[in-house]
Structure 1
Amino acid sequence: MGVQATNLVLALLVVAFISFRGAESRKARLLDSFEYSAINCRAHTASLTDFGGVGDGTTSNTKAFKDAIDHLSQFASDGGSQLFVPAGKWLTGSFSLTSHFTLYLHKDAVLLASQDMQEWPVMKPLPSYGRGRDAAAGRYSSLIFGTNLTDVIITGNNGTIDGQGAFWWQNFHKGKLKYTRPYLIEIMFSNSIQISNLTLLNSPSWNVHPVYSSDILVQGITIIAPITSPNTDGINPDSCTNTKIEDCYIVSGDDCVAVKSGWDEYGIAFGMPTKQLVIRRLTCISPYSATIALGSEMSGGIEDVRAEDITAIHTESGIRIKTAVGRGGYVKDIYVKRMTMHTMKWVFWMTGNYGSHADKNYDPNALPVIQGINYRDMVADNVTMAARLEGIAGDPFKEICISNVTIGMAPKAKKVPMDLHRYRGDDERGNSTTMWHATGPRA
């Protein structure tokens, strides 16, 4: 009876917001037109051992990686190059890539992130963030980094990159870090990027972070981190255009996929949205976060997102939109279908009072636009609450369509699994908000 009642209310939401159906089909045609070329062949190749690399798990290979890539960079205009990492355990600090380049890991190759902080250069904060995420100062360069590149492939026969994150998590919890923790892979201001067929373990923070870039394919990636590890987001496309994420398995201490575009006044000023994003065929586990999160740093805008054929297991929420007063920007034209969820706290969650700000200089009049949100063809079981929708006073979230959704409630679920109402309140910083809680008629 509870499931039937929940389905009835979801059907009524479709009637209320049926005008969005036209936008749904229009965006689907646009996003289906994406094409990606196969992995490139390179005219020149070398092995890390050619540059003094030692795969014993204790010798630093930071210089070997830098020397190898510096040498191979001369072939960018002559058919490109490939660096092969053989079987072994290759300890290394941060290193940067070059254009028209492939980094290829043997199936038994393991890159081990160094715990010597001298091997992690410090960079300025991202301009669309204005500060580091962990600390106001700069940030440590990612383990594998690149900027202003074109035609870069990071791949392997399921080789492994191990961030050895426990060292960083402990220092983060103790407040000992002056700068934001490094990511495993970050590519910025670049185009034609492929990251595929790898296993990523224990990242210090985010795993894969393409930012200010275009034409990106993330495919066949396995990401694993302890479910209690801090901020170990899986894949975070950030102010990127034309990105495809597919066929990945993610176990994370934070959002499995987090779509971003800058933070408060800095993201508004930078003004680079994430758009034309396809996410499909993922399996995700994250008991304390979302399968797919849109925001909270969305001040440059997020639009034209299609997600389909997603499986979530023991995850806090299915799709979560995170925003707040001061964010500005927008989340619009979002289309999610064929999602299967097992053991969830919430299936749908929209948060208008997320409350985390870069600093105190954000504009309280910068209100986000949430519009054109379409969820359909979903099944969930063992759910605590069907939905939690929290809006912003004077800033309604519009054109929300939820259709053909079946939700089975957990034995100890909330007694009211789908009940749409609003009330006024203040968030943690005193901003007036309007709260919408979608749960449902009593079972």
Structure 2
Amino acid sequence: MIVDIEEFGGLGDGCTDNSKAFTDAIAVLRERGGGTLRMMDHAYLTGPVELFSNISLEIGKNTTLSFVPYMNRYSPVLTRWEGVVCYGMHPLIFARESKNIELKGEGTIDGNGQQWWEAMRRKKREGQNKPIEPFEMELAELNKYSGGQPSGGGGREMQFLRPPLVQFFGCSDVTIEGLKFQNSPFWTIHPVFSNHISIRNISIQNPSDAPNTDGIDIDSCKDILVSGSTIDVGDDCLAVKAGSGEQGIKEGKSSERIVIRDCRFKQGHGGVVIGSETAGGIYDVVVSECSFERTDRGVRIKTRRGRGGTVSRLRFSDLNMKQVLCPVAINMYYRCGARPEEFSELFSLECRPVSASTPHIYDIEISNLEAQECRASAGFIIGLPESPIEKLHMHGCRIDLSKSEIVAPSESEMFEGLPETQARGIRIRHASCEFDGLEVLGLPNGEPPIFYESPVD
């Protein structure tokens, strides 16, 4: 069954709120067991949209679906926000415990995120560190708010829990194909506790200064394919996550069997990123035939004490990078979201007792990586003294730091507690690494391509 939004009173003038038309159309499709809701050749504005099993949303060429910027319209729903299951603002497009869903077409989904970004910037400028707005107070009450909840820096202490543009929560057999996504208020595409998802031939574009606007965040999901897509955003381009802190460790819900191929990453803080929410474990990620242009980091793995989980069996091959800060960054001293009172414990250079909250990283292979005009360093591989990185193998990699706009080596990663260095080779601390056919070009005379700051096995 195929229906057009205009059959339900939809008006494609770009300014009429079509929320009722979307609700009515989806209700009819749901009642009849599923079908396709189509939009063609116009600009449609709506409030949040909820999808259900066996429903497709088709957005045609020269068609835009955008969302009202009124924050009070996005009522609280149970979600996962920066690794913690809690109440957050209703995703702009949302499905829960559903299957056989499609988002497809050649059109554009626009999150209209400018107001959300400016609100976040203003709150940070004003030093807001607790809930103030009515919707923040409502979320704080629902979440029994505690400042102890872990965060990556997106605003949890304020309970300004901005919505992702698209979220599938506990869903299966989802296809996203052909569309352009832009101007997300927060993360752009966020599958959570979901399986069998295919994301093909899409583009995601958020301004480079739009806060926390990740491209795709795969969060405790299994059997995921991302291919043929271009992501240019204001934070990590594509991240694989698995919950955070004590709650994530207890849940133990991993991300596994993820394939990323033939994608292009631009401008983000990281191209392909593992973490920093690693509590449930991340396994069997294969990344191949991808390009990275001016992302801060290319391949990036980030975690720290307290995040927990094991990261293992990752394979990266046939990657081409240009003007990245650092092509390979594996960082177990990741600082974002840590509270100052935690620094002495989280970022100590001394051994700490191993516990369920200690992260582990091992069995990582990176092959046939070509990185030109790197701007900060050739690599950053930093483990914990009580949990060294193990079995990292890089072979057939060529990293060139010449002909680049050089920045400080400290820009290679977002870390805390480590000594500063001026060296631009591959920095290694508490890691067991094997290199085969490695070339590092453009270093100052006499500087080694690899330098170790701690004993290795």
Does TM-score exceed 0.5, indicating one fold? yes
Q: Which amino acid aligns with 1:370?
A: I
Instruction: Give the Cα separation in 2 of the matches to 1:351 and 1:399.
Output: 15
Structure 1 window deviating more from structure 2 (99-108 vs 333-342): it is 99-108
Aligned length: 379
Using the TM superposition, give the Cα deviation of residue 113 of structure 1 relative to its aligned residue in structure 2, in angstroms. 1.2
Instruction: Give the Cα separation in 2 of the matches to 1:337 and 1:274.
Output: 20
Using the TM superposition, give the Cα deviation of residue 417 of structure 1 relative to its aligned residue in structure 2, in angstroms. 3.2
**Unaligned segments of structure 2, at least 5 residues:** 124-131, 137-159, 347-352, 410-421, 449-457
Instruction: Give the Cα separation in 2 of the matches to 1:117 and 1:358.
Output: 27
Residue in 2 that maps onto 1:89 = 43
Using the TM superposition, give the Cα deviation of residue 171 of structure 1 relative to its aligned residue in structure 2, in angstroms. 0.6
Instruction: Give the Cα separation in 2 of the matches to 1:387 and 1:141.
Output: 39
Query: Secondary structure of 2:179's partner?
Result: strand
Query: Secondary structure of 2:246's partner?
Result: helix
| 1:340–1:380 contact (8 Å) kept in structure 2 | yes
Instruction: Give the Cα separation in 2 of the matches to 1:357 and 1:299.
Output: 15
Residue in 2 that maps onto 1:273 = 254
RMSD, aligned CA = 2.5
Query: Secondary structure of 2:20's partner?
Result: helix
Instruction: Give the Cα separation in 1 of the matches to 2:187 and 2:429.
Output: 35
Residue in 1 that maps onto 2:370 = 379
Residue in 2 that maps onto 1:336 = 316
Using the TM superposition, give the Cα deviation of residue 131 of structure 1 relative to its aligned residue in structure 2, in angstroms. 6.1
Query: Which residue among 70, 74, 94 is the counterpart of 1:116?
Result: 70
Pair 1:159 & 2:81 matched: no
| 1:130–1:358 contact (8 Å) kept in structure 2 | no
Pair 1:150 & 2:107 matched: no
Calculate the TM-score normalised by the size of structure 2. 0.78
Instruction: Give the Cα separation in 2 of the matches to 1:331 and 1:340.
Output: 23
* Percent identity for Structure 1 against Structure 2: 29
Structure 1 window deviating more from structure 2 (384-393 vs 140-149): it is 384-393
- For each residue in 1:8-35, what CA deviation from the matched residue of structure 2 results, as whole angstroms up to 9, or x when unmatched? xxxxxxxxxxxxxxxxxxxxxxxxxxxx
Q: Which amino acid aligns with 2:241?
A: K
Residue in 2 that maps onto 1:102 = 56
Residue in 1 that maps onto 2:286 = 306
Query: Secondary structure of 1:269's partner?
Result: helix
| 1:235–1:258 contact (8 Å) kept in structure 2 | yes
Residue in 2 that maps onto 1:442 = 447
Query: Secondary structure of 2:262's partner?
Result: strand
Using the TM superposition, give the Cα deviation of residue 364 of structure 1 relative to its aligned residue in structure 2, in angstroms. 8.1
Instruction: Give the Cα separation in 2 of the matches to 1:260 and 1:63.
Output: 35
Pair 1:221 & 2:169 matched: no
Structure 1 window deviating more from structure 2 (357-366 vs 223-232): it is 357-366
Instruction: Give the Cα separation in 2 of the matches to 1:108 and 1:403.
Output: 45
Q: Which amino acid aligns with 2:90?
A: S
Using the TM superposition, give the Cα deviation of residue 435 of structure 1 relative to its aligned residue in structure 2, in angstroms. 13
Residue in 2 that maps onto 1:406 = 398
Using the TM superposition, give the Cα deviation of residue 130 of structure 1 relative to its aligned residue in structure 2, in angstroms. 3.4
Pair 1:52 & 2:9 matched: yes
Instruction: Give the Cα separation in 2 of the matches to 1:324 and 1:249.
Output: 29
Give the 5 Å matches for 1:284-363: 284-287=265-268, 289-356=269-336
| 1:127–1:270 contact (8 Å) kept in structure 2 | no
Query: Secondary structure of 1:237's partner?
Result: strand
Q: Which amino acid aligns with 2:240?
A: V
Query: Which residue among 380, 387, 392 is the counterpart of 2:384?
Result: 392
Instruction: Give the Cα separation in 2 of the matches to 1:351 and 1:378.
Output: 19
Using the TM superposition, give the Cα deviation of residue 63 of structure 1 relative to its aligned residue in structure 2, in angstroms. 1.3
**Change beyond 3 A, Cα 1:87–1:239:** same
Residue in 2 that maps onto 1:74 = 31
Instruction: Give the Cα separation in 1 of the matches to 2:75 and 2:164.
Output: 12
Instruction: Give the Cα separation in 1 of the matches to 2:229 and 2:238.
Output: 10
Instruction: Give the Cα separation in 2 of the matches to 1:435 and 1:121.
Output: 48
| 2:212–2:235 contact (8 Å) kept in structure 1 | yes
| 2:389–2:432 contact (8 Å) kept in structure 1 | no
Using the TM superposition, give the Cα deviation of residue 67 of structure 1 relative to its aligned residue in structure 2, in angstroms. 0.9
**Unaligned segments of structure 1, at least 5 residues:** 1-43, 133-137, 424-433
Query: Secondary structure of 1:344's partner?
Result: coil
| 2:390–2:432 contact (8 Å) kept in structure 1 | no
Using the TM superposition, give the Cα deviation of residue 357 of structure 1 relative to its aligned residue in structure 2, in angstroms. 5.4
| Larger relative contact order (Cα-Cα within 8 Å, sequence gap ≥ 6) | 1
Q: Which amino acid aligns with 2:359?
A: P
| 1:332–1:371 contact (8 Å) kept in structure 2 | yes
**Change beyond 3 A, Cα 1:140–1:128:** closer
Using the TM superposition, give the Cα deviation of residue 355 of structure 1 relative to its aligned residue in structure 2, in angstroms. 3.6
| 1:154–1:196 contact (8 Å) kept in structure 2 | yes
Instruction: Give the Cα separation in 1 of the matches to 2:2 and 2:204.
Output: 28
Q: Which amino acid aligns with 1:320?
A: R
Residue in 1 that maps onto 2:220 = 239
Residue in 2 that maps onto 1:417 = 424
Using the TM superposition, give the Cα deviation of residue 282 of structure 1 relative to its aligned residue in structure 2, in angstroms. 0.7
Instruction: Give the Cα separation in 2 of the matches to 1:422 and 1:75.
Output: 60
Structure 1 window deviating more from structure 2 (355-364 vs 226-235): it is 355-364
**Change beyond 3 A, Cα 1:125–1:190:** closer
Residue in 2 that maps onto 1:171 = 119
